[in-house]
Structure 1
């Protein structure tokens, strides 16, 4: 069971499972602890996994005032310190991968390694237009289901839509009692649309694995590659048949690859 953890000026909803080296999991737009369920279930025999709801998502409140990626990276740092973790393997997807980049830049002592899934250094015009589309879609969609059905077209593969996995996810989201307010979705998106780590990525010293989905139409492989090329000695791999969130669609494959990276990092460390 999760609990609220006091970290900085927030009470952050946090779930901790397992035993072993510490891992921090950072979600993307509106995603909560539950988005990492396949990792919480599949890796807890080897790692102590810490997942949390970002500010304004799920059970973590959105304070008044501006929202920035830097602020959310500081939230993650405050959470690690609050649960007495001096250094963790950090994995983030989509917006969570950008938070993870900032965490490694602002608090390098806390980051043992980085896994960046579906990431970018700065949104290109295509991705920026898509983010702005989602920003207004969430406000004008005729229902929550209609929004999710449209949004998920760019998040999951056709395979997941056709085999019923996406419909099951939609049912779970619709039943989730801790809804994210429309304005909080928009504030989260606003924080990322013009955020840029391009010139600072070479300062990241943590061992890094960048993963891209070959069928991802948002954080496309060239954007992910641009991150890997700027982080010294980063590994870059494309999961050719996957989209934006392979850690959910093919969790066994994703978990095995990330576990191998963490084990190698631990050996070298």
Structure 2
């Protein structure tokens, strides 16, 4: 298993495929052991794909100290150095999109083209759903609470009309096969804590690389109006909405091909 020895932690990563280098930055709670993952989709077939477990998550070290968004961005930059990449295409999804914003702002020379998917700028531009405020909810209770935020079409009326599908989705979201691992709980909390302080709003006009903002029309986590704010604040950016919620990349089969087309332009 490949690990990168970064200045203050050991980071687990995976790399596969061929073509232009693409760094994929995952969302809240991301763990490469959970299958299927990004390597099983179109991005893994179209690029030399590099993905990793962020600090506090998966098989990467989980120091029980405060994390910052700047640290997350610097981790990504350090991993690129570890594999010998001077620059790469970058896709950041949800929390990973927040990290990607910091990466391109702190290390602009490392990013060739950028996709920000279902994410938010924070600050005056609007924040994503405050997961840190519901950390007390676990398992099924958390899954039920988040159902209508993940996709705003899945409201109470929808749940009553589709009870079997609703319960299936709850069980899929409630299951954590790695619960109870040492450091897992405090690492996840440290990520949420850093996420709650994310704010790139005033700095976004500094982004000078081609940027695609990809979003779900029915996303209650990263709201559609927040995507409009991102598009207005990042010079020359392109905004595309897809049919789905926070998981639009899975729900709309046109989403990943559109990202690939943009990245290869």
Q: Which runs of 4+ in 1 moved over 6 A?
A: none
Aligned partners of 1:126, 1:111: CA distance in 2, in Å? 24
After superposition, where does 1:226-241 map in structure 2 within 5 Å? 226-239=229-242, 241=243
Alignment partners' CA distance in 1, 2:89 and 2:34: 18
Task: State which drifts further: 201-210 or 155-164.
Answer: 155-164
How far off is 1:11 after superposition?
1.1
Q: Does the 8 A contact of 1:202 with 1:232 survive in 2?
A: yes
CA distance in 2, matches of 1:20, 1:178: 38
Structure 1 residue 52: Cα displacement? 0.8
Contiguous gaps of at least 5 residues in structure 2: none
Q: Which residue of 1 aligns with 2:150?
A: 155
Aligned pair count reads 255
Distance 1:188-1:202 versus aligned 2 partners, 3 A rule: same
CA contact (8 A) 1:210 1:235 kept: yes
| Contact residue 125 and residue 226 of structure 2 kept, 8 A | no
Q: Hey, what does 2:176 align to over in structure 1?
A: 174
Equivalent residue of 1:30, what SS?
coil
Q: What TM-score does the superposition give when structure 2 sets the normalisation length?
A: 0.85
Q: Does 1:210 find its partner at 2:210?
A: no
Equivalent position of 1:267 in the other structure? none
Give the 3 Å change call, closer, same or farther, for CA 208–35 of structure 1 in structure 2: farther
SS in 1 for 2:202: coil
Give the distance between the partners of 2:34 and 2:125, measured in 1 at CA.
28
Q: Residues of 2 paired with 1:151 and 1:183: CA distance?
A: 21
* In 2, Cα distance between equivalents of 1:170 and 1:98: 22
Are the structure 2 counterparts of residues 202 and 124 from structure 1 closer, same or farther at C-alpha, using a change threshold of 3 Å?
A: closer
CA distance in 2, matches of 1:137, 1:113: 34
Check conservation: 2:33, 2:58, Cα contact below 8 A: no
Change (3 A) 1:262 1:149: same
* Deviations 1:212-237 (CA, angstroms, capped at 9, x unpaired): 11101121111112112111111011
The superposition leaves residues 170-219 of structure 1 with CA deviations (integer Å, 9 ceiling, x where unpaired) of 37x43246857333333222212232211111111111000111101121
* TM-score normalised by structure 1 residue count: 0.83
CA–CA separation in structure 2 for the residues paired with 1:155 and 1:36: 20
Instruction: Specify whether residues 21 and 227 from structure 1 end up closer, same or farther in structure 2 by C-alpha distance, changes over 3 A only.
Output: same
Any idea what the Cα deviations from partners look like across 1:29-84, whole Å, max 9, x if unmatched? Answer: 11122568454122333211111111011111222432110010000000011011
Larger helix fraction of residues: 1
Structure 2 residue 22 is the aligned partner of structure 1 residue 20: no
SS in 1 for 2:113: strand
The Cα shift of 1:93 comes to 1.2
In structure 2, distance between residues paired with 1:205 and 1:237: 19
Shift of 1:95: 1.2
Q: 1:249-264 alignment to 2 at 5 Å?
A: 249-250=251-252, 252-264=253-265
Q: Tell whether 2:199 aligns with 1:196.
A: yes
